Structure 1
Amino acid sequence: MNLKQIIAPLAIFSTLSLTGFSQNTFPSNGYAGIGTTAPNGHLEIKEPSNRAVQIIVQNSISSNGGFLMELLDNNISFNLRERGHLSFFVNGREGMRLSKDGFVGVGTNNPIHPLSVQGKIQSLSGGFVFPDGTVQTTAANQSNLFSSLYATDFIKVGNNSIYIDEINLGGGLTPENHIYASNTSGDLYINCADPSFVNPGSPTANTIFHFDGNKGGVGIATDVLEQYVKLHVADGFALFDGSQASILFDKHSSSVYGQYGIEYLSTNETGSLGGLNFWKPFGSNAGLKNYQMFISDAGQVGIGVNPSEFVPGYKLFVDDGILCEQVKVALRSTADWADFVFDIDYKLKPLKEVKAFIDENKHLPDVPSASDVVKNGINMAEMDATLLQKIEELTLYTIKQQELIEQMQKELELLKSKQ
């Protein structure tokens, strides 16, 4: 091959190369230009038309096109055309990752939510906007606090506690209440916080409410629960309020309301007296039974008696009788007993008057009639004193009759001696 045969193809190749790369340049200043002969930086890529500017990075296993960075109009897009991660490194350490699932991780290479952050999140201004449009600028010491907090599942607070602080616009925080859950016993405490709770050394001090995770008991104002106690209220009261405020008792029965109930009824509910009602609820083994026992506001007690039947001046009302081994009745003074019958100046009625009274009234003087007893009942102390009075009067009648018999006996013996 002669020299002309060699030079001709080289000339043609050089012409084509200059034509094809006329806008790609590598000036002596170290800059590089693609699509431009005057790059303004170390690397400048320019598309003279309105087509997209693309940078494609791929290797032998990038079957779908690898990594694509594209500028279209004024928009830049990064496209991983393979299913992989996009990681950002600083000083040899991964600082942020866009996972293949579309999750962003900051400080973590395993984001499991749309945004996973290992560390703190800081808002220098503007605060945080929630799905309902509300903005939270602080959770510390200003009046713009959370008005409410919603969770569709649960709220978890690691191994620490929840503090409920008072709002102090002066800039300080004074812990008011404290919620603590033990991760070993399962106990739950709500207590009045003190400054030591900043680093809780005794998270169970000043207990307001305590739930025992082992025994299932509840303590109010105490953290001590005896073995079989389910509710312990220390140094205070338990108030049940409302139109149906009741305490129900049961022992593993099928009754919805239990077998026994205690409730307070007002005068409007009873129609007569307000008080404490012991009752058998609907569905109990005895059915609905009201006023099994009733203690009125006036201190009257009824057993099986409707409080509307209570009468003034008495404290105990019992239906169906009382069975007991001993009843002791005391008197206020000796004047209430019948010893006065034996006084010298006591006027004993002649038997003729007694007989006339009996014939007319069909009962003894000073003794209530049967109709009076049915209507008004009897006072046991008064009745015993009245019966004793009649016995003592009968004794006096008997003594007088005995004296008369003895006198007649003497007179009879005297007559016999003169015959």
Structure 2
Amino acid sequence: MKKQILLLVALCLSMYSFSQVISNEAFSLSNSFGDLQMRRYVDGDLVFKRALVPSATLLNINYAGDFTSGVKIHGLKLVVDGNVGIGTANPGALFDIHSTKTYDHWLSRMNTNGNNWSGFWETSDNIRLLLRDTDGNIDVDLRPNGSSFINGGNLGIGITSPTAKLEINDDAATGNGLVIAGGGSGGTLAEFKRDIGATGSSLKIHASSNDPTLTFTNNTTNIFSIGVDGGSYKISDNATLGTNDRFVVNSNGNIGIGVETASSILDVKTINYGSNQEGGINLSSYYNNINRWTTQVGLKSTSGGSPRFAITTKQRDASNVEYANTEAISIPLNSGNVGIGTTTPDSKLTVKGNIHAEEVKVDLSVPGPDYVFNADYDLTSLETLQNYITKNKHLPNIPSAKEMEANGIELGVMNMKLLEKIEELTLYTLEQEEKLKNQMQINSSLNKRLIRLEQLLLNKAETTKKD
């Protein structure tokens, strides 16, 4: 009860002080029907009803008439349970304000110069919470509709001393520290910029249905996006995934580089057909921070020519000047031929240079020359052979030197031709051997006859000498 009386006295003194500020007119106090009434003659009555009655209503303040100077209070009610109501007889909260009127600001605090006022600001379609500094600048403007902002200072959520414009701390680690939700139709959920209003670096978070995307931009043209598109993980140099995709991982595990959909375990697109381009994997060796040796494995394309798979070696000197660029191995995709030291292989394996091997096995495309030893083989006579060599300067069935220089030789065919000549030479040798044996027999017979003849002549000479 003492507290109630003290509150009543305080209210009376405050109203008396307030009346002294706004007017020098006299006032009167009267008691009517058990109520305490203070009357201000010009503007109306201020009535304290049942101020000292311990009923459901502890204190009820109403203006019986108009109060033109100062803030108009439709009604202030203090309830026994501690709730305070303005404009309502049944406040439902600790502090409950009801009003059917629209005010520019209906709960505010203002300094003496009229600049530093803060409070709730109401318009026809919006309610705002404004906090101003001493110069009248708005530091905080919060609106349920329209734009809200906090000007200056750091904002902390879950932390008492934020070190950034916005710092969130969730030590519990059982929930989400920050959740940004948007509609399924897509759009930008959040955007982070280095400079407000500039076209420089930014990071955007997009969400369209089940396809979230992060987009990085360092100016208006250089864009890098990473996210999910149609169930595939993608990296693109376009703000929209599915356009200019550079890296793709499909839901089935296939990986694509330079393609929008990977059709195999590793699907790599390196060049545009018909242009002077090269692409693939570079294996580099550095010395003193200079890329001295590089081996490139990938595809190449020359304008007007078909693409080819190539292994290229490059070398640079100590001044980083390239002095060697050799396409060591080349495989044109339209033929499948393999070239070593040449970019235009005309056979399954074309080598420009020497080959060093312990053994080379060649499958024959022509029959072996055993036919030379057949009984019906027509072996050219030595006289005919001599005449052919004299005229053509090379053996029969063997290309000339000019032909070999111009067209090269086929190793298997040439070996068979050479073997044919060796077998023919064997036949010539055997034929000469047979003739030699016959000649030796004739010579032996003639030698025996010569010996007998010499012996007869010797015997005759001795007989004549005796006579």
- Shorter-chain TM-score: which interval? 0.5 to 0.7
1:197 equivalent in structure 2: none
1:247 equivalent in structure 2: 281
1:42 equivalent in structure 2: 62
1:400 equivalent in structure 2: 431
In structure 2, the gaps of 5 or more residues are 1-19, 47-60, 73-102, 121-128, 159-180, 195-201, 215-225, 236-246, 254-261, 453-467
Q: 1-side partners of 2:232 and 2:394: how far apart? A: 71
CA shift digits 1:300-325 (9 cap, x unpaired): 11122132xx43xx222222322222
Q: Does structure 1 residue 295 correspond to structure 2 residue 331? A: yes
Q: 2-side partners of 1:358 and 1:262: how far apart? A: 52
Q: 1:118 to 1:147 in 2, by over 3 A?
A: closer
Correspondence for 1:390 among 421, 426, 445: 421
Residue 414 of structure 1: how far off its partner (Å): 2.5
Q: Which amino acid is 2:68 matched to? A: K
CA shift digits 1:351-399 (9 cap, x unpaired): 1111111111111111122111111111111111111111111000000
Q: Does structure 1 residue 279 correspond to structure 2 residue 312? A: yes
Question: How does 1:49-198 map onto structure 2 within 5 Å?
Answer: 78-80=109-111, 98=131, 102-103=139-140, 113-114=150-151, 139-141=182-184, 143=185, 145-146=186-187, 150-152=191-193, 166=209, 175=210
Q: 2-side partners of 1:305 and 1:75: how far apart? A: 87
Moved more, 247-256 or 355-364: 247-256
Q: Secondary structure at the match of 2:330?
A: strand
Matched-pair contact (CA < 8 Å) for 1:98–1:105: no
1:260 equivalent in structure 2: 295
Correspondence for 2:409 among 372, 378, 383: 378
Q: Secondary structure at the match of 1:360?
A: helix
Correspondence for 1:238 among 250, 267, 274: 267
CA shift digits 1:278-307 (9 cap, x unpaired): 224585786352422211120111122132
CA RMSD of aligned residues (A): 5.0
Q: 1:242 to 1:414 in 2, by over 3 A?
A: closer
CA shift digits 1:87-107 (9 cap, x unpaired): 89xxxxxxx78486823579x
2:463 equivalent in structure 1: none
Residue 35 of structure 1: how far off its partner (Å): 8.8
1:324 equivalent in structure 2: 357
Q: 1-side partners of 2:284 and 2:39: how far apart? A: 90
Q: 2-side partners of 1:301 and 1:31: how far apart? A: 113
1:363 equivalent in structure 2: 394
Q: 1:255 to 1:406 in 2, by over 3 A?
A: same
Matched-pair contact (CA < 8 Å) for 1:209–1:222: no
Q: 1:80 to 1:360 in 2, by over 3 A?
A: farther
The number of aligned residues is 290
Q: 1-side partners of 2:315 and 2:304: how far apart? A: 21
Q: Secondary structure at the match of 1:348?
A: coil
Residue 273 of structure 1: how far off its partner (Å): 4.3
Q: Secondary structure at the match of 2:268?
A: coil
In structure 1, the gaps of 5 or more residues are 1-16, 48-52, 56-73, 89-95, 120-137, 157-161, 167-174, 180-188, 194-205, 211-217, 225-232
Q: Please state which structure has a larger fraction of its residues in strand.
A: 2
Q: 1:34 to 1:278 in 2, by over 3 A?
A: farther
CA shift digits 1:152-184 (9 cap, x unpaired): 15769xxxxx99554xxxxxxxx46799xxxxx
Q: 2-side partners of 1:31 and 1:114: how far apart? A: 47
Q: Does structure 1 residue 352 correspond to structure 2 residue 383? A: yes
Matched-pair identity in %:
21
Matched-pair contact (CA < 8 Å) for 1:222–1:234: no
CA shift digits 1:124-146 (9 cap, x unpaired): xxxxxxxxxxxxxx9334x5x31
Q: 1:371 to 1:85 in 2, by over 3 A?
A: farther
Q: Secondary structure at the match of 1:251?
A: strand
Moved more, 294-303 or 23-32: 23-32
Q: 2-side partners of 1:33 and 1:282: how far apart? A: 104
Q: 1:113 to 1:416 in 2, by over 3 A?
A: same
Q: Secondary structure at the match of 2:285?
A: coil
Q: 1-side partners of 2:37 and 2:404: how far apart? A: 127
Q: 1:273 to 1:234 in 2, by over 3 A?
A: closer
Which protein is bigger by CA-based radius of gyration?
2
